[in-house]
Amino acid sequence: MTDLFVDLRSDTVTRPTAGMRAAMAAAEVGDDVYGEDPSVNALEAEVAALFGHEAALFAPSGSMANQIALQLSVSPGDELLCDADAHVVTYEIGAAAAYGGISSRTWPAVGADIDPEVVAGMIRPDGYFAVPTRAIAVEQTHNRGGGGVIPLATLRDLRGVADEAGVALHCDGARIWHAHVADGVPLIEYGRLFDTMSVCLSKGLGAPVGSLVVGSADKIERARMIRKRMGGGMRQAGILAAAGRYALAQHIDRLADDHAKAARLAEAVAPFGVLATTVRTNLVALDLTKHTLDARALAAAARAEGVLISVLGPRTARLVTHLGLSDADIDRAVAALPRIFAAA
Ligand SMILES: Cc1ncc(COP(=O)(O)O)c(C=O)c1O
């Protein structure tokens, strides 16, 4: 990504392309808190239509979009179910509890390999003696689960579980575009399974900022209030929305290229027994429990070779591909990483 380093830390390190910058410069704007930004309004309508929902709301970040959506379905003191590695309970700094008063309970971290029966067994009914479950959240693709894709059949079963219990189903779809490209499931097919979704324009799609909450018209009207309360009302945000519209038009199909690059990285490190999961999308999760190198040592050695990677835990690391990487960048990483593992 930078001239000096091959940056595999995250797909959020991308910088807007020339075409995206041109679209941003040309954007029509207005005051979005007054609902008068034509570019934001167009983006919201486009994203709602992509997922077959009535409405969508532009938010400054994926975390805010998730937290707005959770507050729509779970009242203070009530319960959210999700997996122990979910972004909403791992990386959002306790926001569900701090802002929504939400009680979260988790099923063991299994990435995308969810067993709907386990989830069904955890749901607690309304009543005087227990915390009532109000929503189930899943993550598509799964970040800490190595970019795993939850199969459509599992999501359909979870929809059935949610319907039977009368609880909401939320999708943290920060990388739902990657699932769509990997499994060929139409976005609208995903959309019809969820009550609310959050989707990101700045992970993989290459926009500098922005996520959307997707849902019914009445939910999104309430979401607008919650966003304002959380300080997320933006003014001439059309400049950012234009980047997002450009990303949706230009950068979804090309994700297949990022997936192919991730597969090359996976193939290069596989002989060292460090792949945590099968690589399906643009994330490569490394499990270093059986290797002499720990995550920090690996990151330091990779950096010395000009390759940046993420340390997610003492023996967990992650490589991520994105539109800022060339084939030559991947060649460099594919040469360096096996050398480092072999020398340790
Ligand atoms: C799965 C997932 N959800 C949500 C987010 C939050 O996005 P943001 O960093 O824009 O708050 C991320 C960020 O990487 C993510 O990976």
Q: What does the pLDDT look like over 289-315, one tens digit per residue?
A: 999 999 999 999 999 999 999 999 999
CA of 291 to the centre of ligand 1 (A): 29
State the pLDDT at residue 1.
45
Pocket test for ligand 1, best of 66, 90, 91 (most atoms within 8 A of CB): 91
CA of 126 to the centre of ligand 1 (A): 31
Higher pLDDT, residue 127 or 165: 165
Average pLDDT over residues 329-339: 98
Tokens coding 94: 């306790």
Pocket test for ligand 1, best of 87, 90, 196 (most atoms within 8 A of CB): 87
Edge-first strand order for the sheet with 168-173 is 55-59, 211-215, 196-200, 168-173, 133-139, 79-83, 103-107
State the pLDDT at residue 119.
98
Atom number, ligand 1, closest to the C-alpha of residue 139: 1
Q: pTM above the 0.85 mark?
A: yes
pLDDT for 217 beyond 70: yes
State the pLDDT at residue 127.
84
* DSSP SS3 for 116: helix
Pocket test for ligand 1, best of 68, 172, 202, 203 (most atoms within 8 A of CB): 203
State the pLDDT at residue 3.
62
CA of 166 to the centre of ligand 1 (A): 27
Beta strands in the chain (DSSP E): 6-7, 55-59, 79-83, 103-107, 133-139, 168-173, 196-200, 211-215, 283-287, 307-308, 310-313, 316-320
Looking at this protein, which amino acid is placed at residue 45? A
- Mean pLDDT score across all residues of the chain: 97
State the pLDDT at residue 4.
87
pLDDT per residue as tens digits for the range 89-102: 999 999 999 999 99
pLDDT per residue as tens digits for the range 218-258: 999 999 999 999 999 999 999 999 999 999 999 999 999 99
pLDDT for 2 beyond 60: no
CA of 62 to the centre of ligand 1 (A): 5
| Pairwise CA distance, residues 50 & 252, whole Å | 12
Q: Hey, whose CA ends up nearest to atom 16 of ligand 1? A: 143
Residues with CB under 6 A from ligand 1: 61-63, 66, 87, 139, 143, 172, 174, 200, 202-203, 211
State the pLDDT at residue 176.
98
> Which CATH code for domain 18-252?
3.40.640.10
Atom number, ligand 1, closest to the C-alpha of residue 64: 11
CA of 149 to the centre of ligand 1 (A): 16
pLDDT per residue as tens digits for the range 35-83: 999 999 999 999 999 999 999 999 999 999 999 999 999 999 999 999 9
Q: Hey, whose CA ends up nearest to atom 13 of ligand 1? A: 62
% of the chain residues with pLDDT over 90: 97
Residue 184 burial (CB < 10 Å; 0-12/13-18/19+)? exposed
CA of 92 to the centre of ligand 1 (A): 8
* CATH architecture under which domain 254-343 falls: Alpha-Beta Complex (3.90)
CA of 65 to the centre of ligand 1 (A): 9
Average pLDDT over residues 315-328: 98
State the pLDDT at residue 318.
98
* DSSP SS3 for 59: strand
Residue boundaries of the structural domains of the chain: 18-252, 254-343
